[in-house]
Amino acid sequence: MSDLTDRPDLFVDGRWVAPRSGRRTAVREASTGLAFGLLGLAGPEDVDEAVRAARRAIEGPWSALSRAERAAMVRAFAAALRAAGKETSALVSRENGMPIRLSRIVNGLAPSAIAGYYGDLAAAEEEVDLRPSPTGGRTLVQRRPVGVVAAITPWNYPQALAVMKLAPALAAGCTVVLKPPPETGLDAFAFADAAIAAGLPAGVVNVVPGGREEGARLVAHPGVDKVAFTGSTGAGRAIGEMAGRLLRPATLELGGKSVSLIAEDADLDLVAARLAEISLPNNGQTCHAATRILAPRSRYAEVVEAVSETVAALSVGDPLDPATEIGPLVSEDQQRRVESYAELAATEGRVTVGGERHVGAGWFVRPTVVVDVQRDARIAQEEVFGPVLAVLPYEDEDDAISIANDSEFGLGGVVWSQDEERGLRLAGRIDTGTVGVNHYELHINAPFGGVKASGLGRELGPEGLDPYLVTRSVYLR
């Protein structure tokens, strides 16, 4: 294994290869802005070579293995990810500013857990599915790998979001070209290290960091059979258009602007205790973060006080310090973007916490709370992707649901009520792919994904395996 911060080469066809593009970039540390690593970047020829390698692997050694042999290799891949988890999680915190407490879970432990889960799931699939036909014949229903997968990922949860594609793809018998973004290209090579350690045949996993052009080339590449994408809604629309034209299946996990709906009978101590985890995970750089807080008019002042006091008390600092609750953002661009939203917030409501510019090293933005926000304000409609919360008053339950659903997005959401029945009833009226009652937690066993502009398809759970398989019916007498 090479030094984790020094990754000048790409991983293609089971080998470390110098980028044909000739491009390499310095990777900057979110908490200081200083260069701490070197990353090789793919160009068009590198993407093409990676797809060719993935095609050779699927037409050769990978399909020659039995399902049990493949599953054993996916489990070995999981074990290798687990062994590297501690170092990988620290690396991601340096790349994107994620507090280490969270990174240990989502970048340290989750990848191996998810890979192991899909290894087990594939091994447990029925070998033979023989169904009777109405006329006395039989039909063999087969589930076959969809083929070469283009996995395109964002920088916010780089390890978890990549493995949510890689693991089911490998378990299904597909091969993968993973294209992470430059911000978190370094950690993506943990998957190359794990592929080598697990003895995966050459070309089964290829890692080619790059930008939008390389992503677009992959999506349209004639050698690709399926696209698995997580990222912004804008990029998702472009990818969906191309995939539609090519009739190429695509899973799209996109943006969000989720609500935290506080019912009149909510336990505000519980809301406050879980606020950072549910509304500001990863410094707000989380697609499902519940950043629109809906407060009943009857308890509005109380909610504003609880939310403002909680956010003001969050510890902001070095993401590698286990005590840190809010770290820096991923880049200077992202810092500027989020600061512009904090400025906008001051014109669209009343800022109770934060709002001021951060001065000093690193790409920090002070956590900000803006209250008295109207439902159609930009700060209530657009995804900020940083530590900025909007509090909106509502009159009654119908009003709360109407505000909650007045969004182009439909990814997450949480309802707070001491009465679980009431919570469930309200949650049932929110138009999203996932929702929680006094709780919100993604996990291996349950499908995750959005509706409306938050995307198409699901990852995780048994449902997360399906997009990597196509069924074929073989009719027998």
Distance CA 420, CA 417 (A): 6
Rounded to whole angstroms, the Cα distance separating 62 from 70 reads: 8
Dihedral, 262, 263, 264, 269 alpha carbons, nearest 10: -50
According to the binding rule CB under 6 A, does residue 336 interact with ligand NAD? no
Q: What angle do CA 387, 191, 100 make, to 5 degrees?
A: 30
- Number of other CB atoms surrounding residue 394 within 10 Å: 20
Q: Select the residue interacting with ligand NAD from 17, 84, 219, 293 (CB under 6 A).
A: 219
Binders in 264-293 for ligand NAD, by CB under 6 A: 287
Specify the amino acid at residue 268: L
- Stretch of 50-58, 156-164, 321-329, 355-363 contacting ligand NAD, by CB under 6 A: 156-164
Name the residue nearer to ligand NAD (CB basis): 423 or 450: 450
Is residue 154 close enough to count as binding ligand NAD by CB under 6 A? Answer: yes
Nearer to ligand NAD, 310 or 434 (CB): 434
Q: Distance between CA atoms of 385 and 372, rounded to whole angstroms?
A: 20
Which residues have C-beta within 8 Å of that of residue 413, sequence separation ≥ 6?
Answer: 258, 259, 260, 261, 290, 404, 427, 430, 432, 434, 435, 436, 440
Does residue 187 bind ligand NAD (CB under 6 A)?
A: no
Q: Does 238 interact with ligand NAD (rule: CB under 6 A)? A: yes
Shortest distance, CB of residue 144 to ligand NAD, whole angstroms? 26
Cα separation, 196 vs 189, whole angstroms: 11
- Asked whether 158 and 179 are in contact (CB, 8 A), the reply is no
Q: Using an 8 Å Cβ cutoff, are 58 and 174 in contact?
A: yes
Question: Which candidate, 327, 299, 325, 301, places its Cα nearest to that of 314?
Answer: 325
Site for ligand NAD in 368-387 (CB under 6 A): 383, 385
174 is catalytic: no
Out of 216, 272, 444, 470, which residue is the one contacting ligand NAD (CB under 6 A)? 216
* Dist CA 69 CA 66 (whole Å): 5
Annotated active-site residue in 95, 183, 253, 348: 253
Minimum distance, C-beta of residue 65 to ligand NAD, in the bound complex (Å): 30
Contact between 446 and ligand NAD per CB under 6 A: no
Site string for ligand NAD, 87-126 (x = CB under 6 A): ----------------------------------------
CA distance 98 to 331: 12
**Distance of alpha carbon 340 from alpha carbon 219, whole angstroms:** 32
Pick one of 112, 156, 251, 432: the residue that binds ligand NAD (CB under 6 A): 156
Integer-rounded Cα Rg, in Å, for the chain is 23
- Closer residue to ligand NAD, CB minimum distance, 13 or 253: 253
Residue 57 interacts with ligand NAD (CB under 6 A): yes or no: no
Which is closer to ligand NAD, CB of 73 or CB of 91? Answer: 91
CB 151 to ligand NAD: min, Å = 10
Q: Exposed/middle/buried for 98, CB within 10 Å: 0-12, 13-18, 19+?
A: buried
The yes or no reply on residue 185 touching ligand NAD (CB under 6 A) is no
Distance CA 114, CA 108 (A): 11
Question: Given the complex with ligand NAD, which of 49 and 253 has the nearer CB atom?
Answer: 253
**Any contact of residue 416 with ligand NAD (CB under 6 A)?**
no
Q: Are 44 and 51 spatial neighbours (Cβ–Cβ below 8 Å)?
A: no
Question: In the bound complex, what is the minimum distance in angstroms from residue 145's beta carbon to ligand NAD?
Answer: 23
Q: Which stretch binds ligand NAD (CB under 6 A): 13-21, 70-78, 111-119, 153-161?
A: 153-161
If one asks whether residue 42 binds ligand NAD (CB under 6 A), the answer comes out as no
- Shortest Cβ distance from residue 182 to ligand NAD (Å)? 8
- Residue 153 Cβ, how far from ligand NAD at the closest point, in Å? 6
What is the Cβ-side half-sphere exposure of residue 165, based on CA atoms within 13 angstroms? 31
Q: Is 254 in the site for ligand NAD (CB under 6 A)?
A: yes
The residue number whose beta carbon is nearest to ligand NAD equals 215
**Smallest gap from residue 280 Cβ to ligand NAD (A):** 14
Tokens of 297: 């008019």
Binding mask 122-151 for ligand NAD (x = CB under 6 A): ------------------------------
- Tokens 């909510």 map to which residue? 266
Q: Which is nearer to ligand NAD, 97 or 181 (CB)?
A: 181
* Residue among 234, 284, 295 nearest 260 (CA): 295
Residue 455 binding ligand NAD, by CB under 6 A: yes
Query: What are the strands, taking DSSP E only, across 29-137?
Result: 35-41, 130-132
- In this structure, the strands spanning 35-41 and 23-28 are antiparallel
Residue 215 binding ligand NAD, by CB under 6 A = yes
Residue 218 to residue 36: CA distance in whole angstroms: 29
Using CB under 6 A as the binding rule, whether residue 207 contacts ligand NAD is answered as: no
Q: Which of 13, 225, 253, 466 binds ligand NAD (CB under 6 A)?
A: 253
Residues taking part in catalysis? 253, 287
What does the binding site for ligand NAD look like in residue numbers (CB under 6 A)?
A: 152-157, 161, 179, 181, 211-212, 215-216, 219, 230-232, 235, 238-239, 253-256, 287, 383, 385, 411, 450, 454-455
